[in-house]
Amino acid sequence: MTEEFEIVDTSKLQLASLKNFLAALGYQYYAIDKVFISDLWSNRSRVAVGFNTAVLAHNGMFTETHGRGFEPDTVFGDISYAVWQEAQADKIVHAVYLQKSYKKGILCTKHLVKFVRPEESEILLKKKK
């Protein structure tokens, strides 16, 4: 019993997940500069977040485990717990595998993703005919 798998390009899906996550934190994506910028007063200490820093935040690099769950730490330390949890819920995939390249733009290093809500996977990966 062998299953056949088809490799699907999930780079746009991963970028959408990254944009959703940072939009919940109050950031907008500027594609030309590949940077996330916020005008909110709560984000005044870090108005611009680089693409690679945003990927690390999405993947949980700036979270710290406490008794009640994950909380933002270091770079995003002044964001409230409720907003951080809302941003975690807005993700499409658990981890993104994107890198910013100055010569080639945004690179996807791994197309294998795990969905936050697995029931949406068939809709999001639907083939165009």
Kindly give the confidence (pLDDT) of every residue in the chain, 129 residues in length, as a single tens digit, with 9 standing for 90 and above. 566 667 788 899 999 999 999 999 889 999 888 999 988 887 777 888 999 989 988 988 777 655 555 555 666 767 777 888 888 899 999 999 999 988 888 999 998 888 888 888 777 777 554
Q: What is the pLDDT of residue 129?
A: 46
Q: What is the pLDDT of residue 55?
A: 93
Residue 31, helix vs strand vs coil: coil
User: 69 CB contacts (<8 Å, ≥6 apart)?
Assistant: 85
> What phi and psi, each to the nearest 5 degrees, are found at residue 75?
-60, -40
- In what helix (H) or strand (E) does residue 89 lie, and over which residues does it extend? helix 81-89
